[in-house]
Structures are given as structure tokens and as C-alpha cells.
């Protein structure tokens, strides 16, 4: 039988619309949940919503805060999401603002934005898997933001959970005191009440003055077809009310607040937001260029607040071309990209043209998963059929005349004779894995010319390996290779170290003697031959046969390094000749040969979408063969 709640146990506050009365900042707690991917952040968020009575059992569903269709399909968090909960603790009502964050390395920018709005964080660690690569990265990120970190061990109900060893890993790897780490099970709800207790007792309240001029940070936004841009803010100082005139300091635009409120987790209108609170504002903003993540909101009348530092611009690491498969959809694609950028400011786009694909956009992303997610969101939300070119990283090139240029696409790489220095981004990669797989990972890194940095034992059976590797070697298939080498137990995280000189070349793919700009790649000179052969072989399989012979070539400058030929479809033109003079057959063969020659000179080669992805083949299979 359940025991009666003690006086200090937080109780769900009665459900009612938030009142217009200002909330004292000392009764507010702003926190986020940070963890490695799949350690149970979204599930714990679900349980906290249940424990606090924010949602009823009837309204409850799994991954409640993951409201994007793609998040629910993939079972991962892509966008940070916020929710306000109210609990009664020791006779006093508290407001808890939870900002749920993604766990994948590509969405690190979402995590850092969320942490800026919080005073504390729950560091969630799987009680069986222990400290993983992204756990380390997110913990250090929270420490840099001066947040109070509360360690929480999830999945302690599993038979093979090892909480004591994992606590030791937290102390050894992160230097955090894990003696008061809370053990819970987000799946069953075991001990989730203690997590709420710790949030109130251990995370400090926000500092803020309700009497100061309004100063609020825009940490997220989304585009609504009927209401325009909806912005999500954390109020640092002052109060904002419905009907107020507000000003965006970075954009320099003024708007009237039409609606103000908090997510509970549905958008619920309130009369005001005061210092320390997190909520949303609707201001009938139709122009998408007026919304900047990290902008400061203040009052348009009277004394104005100082602008907040905002966020560092995210570093886009991977670029690719996105083209509508139907050229008529170009403007529709531009509009869809603009709307998506309001919700996800970490990707950029600019128009470009391709001889093979027509008009499209060169887009920059934080990583390969981020690129995949944006493409899927465009296809699902905007219903546009896309053709995507092979991804590549940003290079820095110094010309012979001393000029430095940044190159996002291989077609802009100058001729080799004009290049003085060719630099590529290098990342520091941390691998965390069971000790028996160290040899396999070392070989994997050696094959990609990685430079060994250090090796650390997190526990007797778990190791962290750190290597410096060129980003181009990491983004394509390093994650897949890591998972297959470690049978799924290895994890990785990386951060940009800077640019280093590399022996790089631009490899062009020629189809029927013509360079196809969308198939060009930049690669290491030592890999060029094997990579070129692999791509040409793959293209030969993907490009259908034509009525004429098609030559496929890989070239560096004017030097051809690989060639394959797609033979012409043959038609038996002498099928109707029964016996008789051979000269009749020869005439028909000569006529056929002339026709194919003419067709070869004017015929167009159809290149299917799958062929553009052939350049992702790294040539490993060719090396092993």
C-alpha cells in the first residue's frame, strides 16, 4: 500500500490557468536534462510530467515533448523543447521549467542554447552503459555554463545495472561528486519523485529583478501558418504583458505582444511573464528575417535594457546541394527553407546552379545526421521531392597570389597549379568503448590517418581513446564503422580543433567526356586512385545502358585515374536477313554504326539520383578486394 505523502514531498499543484500574479523568482527552478543519446531523457521528461500532475494519465503518451513527426518515427529528440510544471513543496507552490535537449552530437548547438536559459541540469547516465562520449561532452558544456549539476542514474531496475561502478566512472571521468546521485527508473517511474525533490532543493533559483526594464533572451522560435513566427523566451529581468510594445535589439524591429503564455505542455495563455520565467510570445511577425535566435527582447517605450551576449554562431561542418527534382518547385523550396530556418537556425542556405541539376541551394549543416533530418523534414513538411548531392566539408585554400578563400563545394576549388596551400578541418574525436575493442578502433583510426592523442581507462573494462582526425574522414561513415567494429557498444563525440595543411586534390567525374559538377569530390591524394575506381564502378551499376556507348572517367586535373565503359544496347539489325549475300548484312551493320556514332555525339546521358550518392563510397571495399 502506498505511504501517505510527507510534508516535504512535492505534490502536484491543482490544475488551473496560470494567474496574472507575478511569480517570485525564488520559487522558480529552470533546468534541463542532458545525457548521451538513448539514455532516457525523453522518458524521464514524460515521468516528471506525470509525477507533477502536469498531464493526466489520459493525455499521456510516450515521448510527449517530442512533438515533431520525425522525432517520433526515429525515437530521438531533434529539437529542444520546454514545458512548465507546478508542484507544491513544503506548503509553497513552485514553478519548474524543464528544457528537454537532444543527445546526438549533431544537435550540440540545441543543447548549448538550452543551457543558457537554465541554472541547473540533471546529468542522466544509463546505470548499465555508464559514461559515454556525449555524456562527457554535455557535462563539460554544463560546467562551462556554471550550472549546478545533479547526477541521476537511470534504468536501475535492469537486472544487469551496475550503479556503484557507474558512480565511480562519473567521479573519475567528470570529477563530479556522485555520492548523492539519484537512482531511478524513468520507464517504471521508480524514484522519480526524488528527482523532483532534488531539482527544488539543489538547483538554485534564477536571479532577476521584476522592477528592472524588460530583458528577455530568444532561445527558440517556430513558424505557424496562421500566427506567423512564435518566439520562445527566457525572461532575465522585468515583466512583459499582453498588449506591450516590445523591441528586438538585434533586428531593430518593434511589435505588439498579441498573446503571451507558457507551454504546459500545450500552449497556455497567461497575463504576463516575469523575471526567471520561460514562455512564448505571439507578435504577428510575418517577416521571417525579423527573428534571430539569441536576440534580446526589451520594451519599445521608456528605459531599455542592455543586449544579452546571445549565442555563438554554430559552425556548419557539412555542406551539400539540395535541388528540387522538378525545376518548377524552386520557389516552393526557397520558402520551405526560410520557414525551416526560423525553427532551426543552425543550418544555412544560398542559391546555386548546376549544369546537371539546374537551380537549387547549397546548404550548410552541423553534421551528417542533421543534413538527413533537414532533408526529411523538407520532404515531409513541404512535400517537395529533392535531389541531394554528395556532402563535403569546408576547406580553406591559399592561392598563389596570397589570397585565402573558403570553399564549400568542390566545383569552386581552383586548378591545382593555382593553389599554394590546401587546408582541411581537423576534429578531436573521443571514442568510449569496452576494452576488448581498442585494437579495432586503433586500426580504424590509423586507416584514416588519425593522430593518437591519449588513452584513458574509465573503469577496468571501459576505455576512452582520443584521436585527431580530418573531419572529412569522420563525417561520411566513421559512426557506422565504429558501431560495426565494437558490435554496437562504442560511442563517439568530436569537436573542431582547427584547420591543418593536407595533401588534397579535386577529383572530377566525367560522363561521356563532360565533367558532371555535382559528382566532383575533394579527397586525399593517397586515396584518390582507389576512391576513383570505387566511384566509377558504382556509377557503372547505377547509370542505365543507352543506345550508344558511355565512357565513365575519374580525373585529377587532366590525368585520368580510372575508366569504365557502359556498352551500348545492341539490336540485331540482320535478324530479317535469311541467308543470301553477306554484303547486305555488312551494309546494315555499317548503317547501324553510323547511327550510333551520330547518337553518341548528340545523345544525352540520363543520370539517376542514386548515382549522385555513389560518391559517398569511400573505396574501402576496393582496398580490401
Report the largest interatomic distance among the alpha carbons of the chain, rounded to a whole angstrom. 110
Start-end of CATH 3.30.70.870 domains in the chain: 318-390
Q: Which residues of 381-392 are buried (b: 16+ CB within 10 A; e: fewer)?
A: ebebebbbbbbb
Q: Is 357 helix (H, G, I), strand (E, B) or coil?
A: coil
CATH match of 318-390 with 3.40.50.1980: no
- Tell me the pLDDT tens digit for each residue of 351-392: 988 777 788 898 988 877 788 888 888 888 888 888 877 778
Q: Which CATH number fits domain 396-502: 2.60.120.260, 3.30.70.240, 3.30.420.40, 3.40.50.880?
A: 3.30.70.240
Q: Which three cell numbers stand for residue 309?
A: 551576449
- The CA R_g of the chain, rounded to the nearest whole Å, is 29
Q: What is the dihedral of CA 282, 310, 394, 432, to 10 degrees?
A: -100
Start-end of CATH 2.40.30.10 domains in the chain: 215-299
Q: Where are the alpha helices (DSSP H) in 38-191?
A: 41-51, 69-74, 108-116, 133-144, 163-174
Instruction: Count Cβ atoms below 10 Å from residue 123 Cβ, excluding itself.
Output: 24
Q: Specify the CATH architecture of the domain 215-299.
A: Beta Barrel (2.40)
Confidence (pLDDT) at 624: 37
d(CA 334, CA 361): 8
Confidence (pLDDT) at 63: 53
Q: Which residues of 80-115 are buried (b: 16+ CB within 10 A; e: fewer)?
A: bbbbbbbbbbeeeebbbbbbbbbbbbbbbbbbbbbb
Q: Where are the alpha helices (DSSP H) in 91-132?
A: 108-116
Confidence (pLDDT) at 625: 33
593: left (phi over 0), alpha (psi -120 to 50) or beta: alpha
Residue 98, CB-side half-sphere exposure with 13 Å CA sphere: 27
Mean pLDDT for each consecutive 10-residue tract of the chain (625 residues)? 45 52 88 86 86 76 57 60 86 87 66 83 92 86 90 92 91 89 90 92 91 89 83 91 89 89 89 92 80 85 80 76 82 88 81 81 84 84 81 87 87 85 91 91 92 89 91 81 85 86 88 81 87 86 78 88 82 66 76 66 62 56 38
392: left (phi over 0), alpha (psi -120 to 50) or beta: beta
Q: Which residues share a beta bridge with 362?
A: 321, 350
Confidence (pLDDT) at 107: 67
Instruction: Give the containing element (helix H, strand E) for 352.
Output: strand 348-354
CATH match of 505-624 with 3.30.70.2570: yes
Confidence (pLDDT) at 618: 46
Q: Is 210 exposed, middle or buried (0-12, 13-18, 19+ CB in 10 A)?
A: middle
Confidence (pLDDT) at 2: 41
- Tell me the pLDDT tens digit for each residue of 589-600: 787 777 666 655
Q: What is the dihedral of CA 615, 466, 485, 38, to 10 degrees?
A: -90
Q: Which residues share a beta bridge with 565?
A: 551
Q: Which residues share a beta bridge with 181?
A: none
Q: Are 335 and 496 in contact (CB under 8 A)?
A: no
Q: Which residues share a beta bridge with 253?
A: 248
Q: Are 26 and 205 in contact (CB under 8 A)?
A: yes
Report how far apart, in Å, the C-alpha atoms of 250 and of each of 294, 345, 423, 440 are.
9, 15, 34, 50
Instruction: Count Cβ atoms below 10 Å from residue 171 Cβ, excluding itself.
Output: 16
Q: Where are the beta strands (DSSP E) in 65-196?
A: 81-89, 92-100, 120-126, 148-154, 182-183
Start-end of CATH 3.30.70.240 domains in the chain: 396-502
Task: Quote the CATH superfamily of domain 11-202.
Answer: P-loop containing nucleotide triphosphate hydrolases (3.40.50.300)
d(CA 177, CA 231): 37
Instruction: Provide the annotated binding site for GTP.
Output: 38-43, 154-157
Q: Are 105 and 141 in contact (CB under 8 A)?
A: no
Closest CA to 461 of 166, 175, 260: 166
Q: Model-level pTM? A: 0.73
Q: Which three cell numbers stand for residue 244?
A: 506591450
Start-end of CATH 3.40.50.300 domains in the chain: 11-202
Which residues have CB under 8 Å from 281's CB, separation 6+? 230, 231, 233, 240, 246, 257, 259, 260, 297
Instruction: Provide the annotated binding site.
Output: 38-43, 154-157
d(CA 451, CA 459): 24
Closest CA to 445 of 424, 475, 466, 423: 466
Amino acid at each position: 500500500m502506498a505511504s501517505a505523502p510527507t510534508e516535504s514531498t512535492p505534490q502536484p499543484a491543482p490544475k488551473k490557468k496560470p494567474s496574472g500574479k507575478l511569480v517570485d523568482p525564488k520559487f522558480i527552478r529552470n533546468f534541463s536534462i542532458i545525457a548521451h543519446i538513448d539514455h532516457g531523457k525523453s522518458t524521464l521528461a514524460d515521468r516528471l510530467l506525470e509525477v507533477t500532475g502536469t498531464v493526466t494519465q489520459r493525455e499521456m503518451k510516450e515521448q510527449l515533448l517530442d512533438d515533431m513527426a520525425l522525432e517520433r518515427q526515429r525515437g530521438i529528440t531533434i529539437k529542444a523543447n520546454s514545458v512548465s510544471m507546478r508542484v507544491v513543496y513544503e506548503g509553497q507552490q513552485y514553478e519548474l521549467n524543464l528544457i528537454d535537449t537532444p543527445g546526438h552530437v549533431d544537435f550540440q548547438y540545441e543543447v548549448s542554447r538550452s543551457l543558457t536559459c537554465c541554472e541547473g541540469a540533471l546529468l542522466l547516465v544509463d546505470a548499465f552503459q555508464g559514461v559515454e562520449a556525449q555524456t562527457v561532452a554535455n557535462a563539460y558544456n554544463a560546467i562551462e555554463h556554471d550550472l549546478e549539476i545533479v547526477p541521476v542514474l537511470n534504468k536501475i531496475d535492469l537486472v544487469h545495472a551496475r550503479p556503484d561502478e557507474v558512480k565511480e566512472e562519473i567521479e573519475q571521468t567528470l570529477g563530479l561528486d556522485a555520492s548523492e546521485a539519484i537512482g531511478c527508473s524513468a520507464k517504471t517511474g521508480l524514484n522519480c519523485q526524488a528527482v523532483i525533490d532534488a531539482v527544488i532543493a539543489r538547483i538554485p533559483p534564477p536571479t532577476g529583478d521584476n522592477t528592472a526594464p524588460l530583458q528577455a533572451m530568444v532561445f527558440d522560435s517556430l513558424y505557424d501558418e496562421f500566427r506567423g513566427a512564435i518566439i520562445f523566451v527566457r525572461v532575465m529581468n522585468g515583466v512583459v504583458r499582453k498588449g506591450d510594445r516590445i523591441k528586438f535589439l538585434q533586428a531593430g524591429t518593434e511589435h505588439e505582444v498579441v498573446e503571451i503564455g507558457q507551454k504546459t505542455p500545450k500552449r497556455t495563455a497567461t497575463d504576463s511573464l516575469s523575471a526567471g520565467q520561460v514562455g512564448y510570445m505571439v507578435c504577428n511577425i510575418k517577416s521571417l528575417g525579423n527573428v534571430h535566435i539569441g536576440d534580446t527582447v526589451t520594451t519599445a517605450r521608456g528605459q531599455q535594457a542592455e543586449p544579452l551576449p546571445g549565442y555563438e554562431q554554430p559552425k556548419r561542418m557539412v555542406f551539400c546541394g539540395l535541388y528540387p527534382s522538378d525545376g518548377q518547385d524552386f520557389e516552393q523550396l526557397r520558402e520551405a527553407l526560410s520557414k525551416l530556418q526560423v525553427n532551426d537556425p543552425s543550418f544555412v542556405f544560398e542559391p546555386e546552379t548546376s549544369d546537371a541539376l539546374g537551380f537549387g541551394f547549397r546548404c550548410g549543416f552541423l553534421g551528417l545526421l542533421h543534413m538527413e533530418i533537414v532533408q526529411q523534414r523538407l520532404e515531409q513538411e513541404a512535400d517537395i521531392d529533392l535531389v541531394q548531392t554528395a556532402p563535403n566539408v569546408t576547406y580553406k585554400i591559399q592561392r598563389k597570389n596570397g589570397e585565402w578563400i573558403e570553399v564549400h563545394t568542390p566545383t569552386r576549388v581552383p586548378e591545382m597549379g593555382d593553389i599554394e596551400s590546401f587546408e582541411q578541418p581537423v576534429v578531436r574525436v573521443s571514442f568510449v568503448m569496452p576494452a576488448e575493442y581498442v585494437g579495432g578502433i586503433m586500426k580504424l583510426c590509423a586507416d584514416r590517418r588519425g593522430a593518437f592523442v591519449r588513452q584513458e581507462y574509465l573503469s577496468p573494462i571501459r576505455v576512452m581513446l582520443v584521436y585527431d582526425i580530418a573531419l572529412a574522414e569522420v563525417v561520411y561513415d566513421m559512426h557506422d564503422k565504429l558501431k560495426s567494429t565494437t558490435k554496437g557498444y562504442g560511442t563517439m563525440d568530436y569537436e573542431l580543433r582547427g584547420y591543418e595543411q593536407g595533401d588534397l586534390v579535386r577529383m572530377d567525374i566525367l560522363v561521356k567526356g563532360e565533367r558532371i559538377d555535382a559528382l566532383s569530390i575533394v579527397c586525399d591524394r593517397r586515396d584518390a586512385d582507389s576512391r576513383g575506381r570505387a566511384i566509377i564502378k558504382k556509377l557503372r551499376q547505377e547509370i542505365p545502358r543507352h543506345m550508344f556507348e558511355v565512357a565513365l572517367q575519374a580525373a585529377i586535373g587532366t590525368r585520368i585515374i580510372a575508366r569504365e565503359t557502359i556498352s551500348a544496347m545492341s539490336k540485331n539489325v540482320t535478324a530479317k536477313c535469311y541467308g543470301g549475300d553477306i554484303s547486305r548484312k555488312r551494309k546494315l551493320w555499317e548503317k547501324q554504326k553510323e547511327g550510333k556514332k551520330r547518337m553518341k555525339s548528340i545523345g544525352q546521358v540520363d543520370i539517376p539520383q542514386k548515382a549522385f550518392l555513389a560518391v559517398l563510397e569511400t573505396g574501402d571495399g576496393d582496398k580490401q578486394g
